[in-house]
Amino acid sequence: MISGEDAATFLQGQTTCDVFAIAEAGGALGALCNPKGRVISLFHLVKHGDDFLMLLPREMSSLIVKRLSMFVFRSKVTIRDASDEFVLLGCANEISTEQKQQLSPIASIPIAPYAHLTIIISNKQQFQREQLTDSFSIEQELEPWQEILTSACYPEVNTATSELFIPQMLNLDKLNGINFKKGCYTGQEIVARMHYKGSVKRRLVSYQSANKYVAGDDIYQLNTDNSIGTILSSHKSKNSNYAGLAVLKVECIENNPLVLSDNSEVIIQQAEYDLD
């Protein structure tokens, strides 16, 4: 949680999204970058009263709290890990107004461009007091939600892949995760230069495979010496295979399936949203 009268101004100088454009109980996808324009972490930023909630993987929370705290200086900003105060629910289907009220949401954040995918944030104490009806089917495990987001080619970054990619390689320019008119922020010069003067030579895709891969591993095509991409994730899927995300060279994306150096096949699933 980022609090204080300078919170919005502080975050505007650290993130790729336009913090000033976030409405009350609204949210925005964005990234924190290092000075070289590489993504340290992805997040959803949610406005909650005078505070901002930054939704990111739990394994990244202490790293991000420490990093952001380095740049506070004399700003009137307080940064802390508030993970235990809230409950996050991932919804893969549209829910009614009545159902939403039962969840006592602080905010309901759509995952663009997928209207049926939503993150609902509830106060933990209020949520625990609610007696949810049989109209809800709540899955306790994280893996099914990860599989849904993977199938939607929605980016994720963890400690193994932090600071490896510029935002465009993670398709943030196609998911409204970068505002190119907002002004300066850490890494902005590199990100803007690629947008206005360069081309994105690597893009995020989802894949399926019979083998499990490790986040951060480089992958190689059969009979090639140079890496064609990097694995972001690998999750067990319903069909007993694995599904995950990878950043691949653009010229390799249409080579489907890819035959890797170990003779295994990876089936590429291009994003539903346009990458051109």
CATH of domain 174-269: 2.40.30.160
Residue 131 has pLDDT above 60, yes or no: no
Report DSSP letters for 81-99, one per residue: --GGGEEEEEESS---HHH
Residues 6+ apart with CB under 8 A from 213: 219, 231, 234, 242, 244
Q: How far apart are CA 86 and CA 6, in angstroms?
A: 23
Q: How far apart are CA 111 and CA 91, in angstroms?
A: 10
Confidence band, pLDDT 50/70/90 cuts, at residue 132: low
Q: How far apart are CA 193 and CA 181, in angstroms?
A: 13
* The pLDDT value given to residue 269: 87
What's the pLDDT tens digit per position in 142-151? 888 888 999 9
Coil, helix or strand for 210?
coil
Q: What angle do CA 35, 18, 78 make, to 5 degrees?
A: 75
* The pLDDT value given to residue 233: 95
Residue 135 has pLDDT above 70, yes or no: no
Residues 6+ apart with CB under 8 A from 215: 158, 160, 161, 231, 232, 233, 234
Q: Are 26 and 18 in contact (CB under 8 A)?
A: no
Structure pTM?
A: 0.92
Residue 126 has pLDDT above 80, yes or no: no
DSSP conformation class of 41: E
**Residues 13-21, mean pLDDT to the nearest whole number:** 97
Q: How far apart are CA 193 and CA 33, in angstroms?
A: 14
* The pLDDT value given to residue 204: 97
Residue 97 has pLDDT above 80, yes or no: no
**Residues 3-22, mean pLDDT to the nearest whole number:** 97
| Percentage of the chain exceeding pLDDT 90 | 65
Confidence band, pLDDT 50/70/90 cuts, at residue 130: low
Q: How far apart are CA 202 and CA 90, in angstroms?
A: 29
Confidence band, pLDDT 50/70/90 cuts, at residue 66: very high
CATH of domain 1-140: 3.30.70.1400
| Percentage of the chain exceeding pLDDT 70 | 96
Domain boundaries, the chain: 1-140, 174-269
Q: How far apart are CA 176 and CA 168, in angstroms?
A: 11
- 23-27, 180-184, 185-189, 238-242 — which is least confidently predicted? 238-242
Mean pLDDT in the chain?
Answer: 91
Rounded to the nearest 5°, which phi and psi values hold at 252? -95, -15
Report DSSP letters for 65-132, one per residue: HHHHHTT-TTSS-EE---GGGEEEEEESS---HHHHHHT-EEEEEEETTEEEEEEEEEEHHHHHH---
By the 10 Å C-beta count (0-12 exposed, 13-18 middle, 19+ buried), 224 is classed as exposed
